Amino acid sequence: MKLKVCGLKYPDNIKQVAELNPDYMGFIFYEQSKRYVGENFIMPEIAGNINKVGVFVNASAESISEKVNKYKLNFVQLHGDETPEFCAQIAAFTKVIKAIGVDETFDLNTLNGYKKSCTYFLFDYKTETYGGSGKPFDWSILEKYDNEVPYFLAGGMDIEKFRAVSKMNLKIHAIDVNSRAEIKPGYKDIIKIIQIRNNIR
């Protein structure tokens, strides 16, 4: 199982997290997010083995392409109402992670249209607004998922939730850690990240 640390915005903290060698680091390019990196963001030097993920919400393909090139992003995570057709458009120039909101009414068949263009899915608690909620959903829903496209698991992930979900028979590609391992929005608690990383590895 791999580790993704998402919602980073402060250069010194980004460097601290990068030293922990997570598999993925996420940077939010959605202006309404508390973890938005800002217009003048400068990406610190990050080891080449760490995948840089840009998080977007209903952005244009042109805007996404510009950010991919400027920040040398390895993945684009789409967290809005993006259609399968739009995901295919983005997949033409970079790898796509499509975020999917899950609740008790979730129908796994809605994923079918996205499977051809998405490298990964990211399953999170379904909310009325865009972005993460910091809440877990009923993970047992994923027991019926066919794993044709590997997935990240998000939703208030901390060490206790990781230990709980690791006891289930789920084929999780990566754990997505964000709000539950922070000192303030966008600034990660290194001790908590280390604790989760050590339990994963």
- For residues 90 and 104, the model is more confident at 90
Q: Which of 12, 124, 158, 189 is catalytic?
A: 124
Number of domains the chain is built from: 1
Which pLDDT score, from 0 to 100, does residue 137 have?
Answer: 80
Which pLDDT score, from 0 to 100, does residue 2 have?
Answer: 96
87 flagged as catalytic: no
Residue ranges making up the domain that contains 99 = 2-200
**Rounded Cα distance, 185 and 182, in Å:** 6
118 flagged as catalytic: no
CATH code, 125: 3.20.20.70
pTM of the shown model:
0.93
Q: Across the chain, which distance is largest between two alpha carbons, in Å?
A: 43
- Specify the residue for token string 């972005």: 131
Q: 67-92, pLDDT tens digit by residue?
A: 999 999 999 999 999 999 999 999 99
Q: Which of 6, 87, 118, 176 is catalytic?
A: 6
Q: Is the pLDDT of residue 106 over 70?
A: yes
What's the first-to-final CA gap in the chain, in angstroms?
Answer: 8
